[in-house]
Amino acid sequence: MSAEPPEAPIPVSLFWYQTDIPPQVQRCIASWDAYPGLAARPYTLAEARTFLDQESGPETRQHFESCATFAMASDVLRMHLLRVHGGLYMDANWAQIAPVRPMLDAVRAKGQTGLIADITALSATFNDPFTDAALEMGCEMLLNGFIYMATPDDPFLTICAEINGRNIAARQCEQIAFAAGSGVMSMVLMLRNFDSRAAYLDALAALGRHRYFDKDIRSSLEAVAEATEAHDHTELRARFARIATTPGPELKAYISRDGLGQTHKDHWTRHKGSFYRN
């Protein structure tokens, strides 16, 4: 009897915007091929542009180019990489230190369609009125540096990508997480907490009365409402219920940030001016 063929490797998409890749980041990228079952695909800026041109079209490419920081451009790109390829998206400055494939296989074995890291516990310490209100509604605050989707074209991905595009085209939200990042994902996934669309819209409206770290994000919440309107609420709720989340600290057994650490985050925390190019 012949042995069963091994399962196909899970694609791992990574992106580094700058031309020069520091040695420690190169080692992080290489670590995603260090254990079996994964197939790493790092994208340079030129390759990201080609991918968007071929797979998402000129409008999305323009959204990508309109981002004034490479962190926000990465936010745009990752949704489309996952939408097309599925699999895992990892920030390029995180290394695999133990095999991640068994954890991802366990997600699928449970009938779950994805796995996203969350920072809900950390968010509870932010002392931010918006965050406090969202957490009271049962919202999970997500981390978009680790996203696994078992299959391409998951509705969660397509909706998040649409919202990101709306926000960037309108240039109204000057808060990076809620323009195209983890805040958008958190608000979309929160839909599963409400048994009716009316209740979900009421929650978004209530959150819109708060500022997020003193930034007005109402336009982003309106984009969330518009993008989910074309979908059946009950169906989306059922689909989103199958997306697992895991506290970020629990991933430390599998992944580790490189030596750039928090200093590397200065590319957006210290950004001055608009997040959008003229």
Q: Write down the pLDDT at residue 193.
A: 98
Q: What are the tens digits of pLDDT across the range 232-259? A: 999 999 999 999 999 999 999 999 987 5
pTM to 2 decimal places: 0.93
Whether the CB-CB separation of 187 and 221 falls below 8 Å is answered with: yes
Quick one: how far is CA 206 from the chain centroid? 24
Q: Write down the pLDDT at residue 2.
A: 45
Tell me how far CA of residue 175 lies from CA of 101, 151, 193, 227, 268, in angstroms. Answer: 34, 30, 24, 19, 10
Is the pLDDT assigned to residue 264 strictly greater than 60? Answer: no
Q: Write down the pLDDT at residue 4.
A: 44
Is the pLDDT assigned to residue 132 strictly greater than 50? Answer: yes
Q: What are the tens digits of pLDDT across the range 108-122? A: 999 999 999 999 999
Q: Write down the pLDDT at residue 5.
A: 46
Is the pLDDT assigned to residue 88 strictly greater than 80? Answer: yes
Nearest partner of 29 among 18, 9, 15, judged by Cα: 15
Q: Write down the pLDDT at residue 56.
A: 95
Quick one: how far is CA 199 from the chain centroid? 25
Distance CA 181, CA 179 (A): 6
CATH number of 10-263: 3.90.550
Q: What is the mean pLDDT of the chain?
A: 92
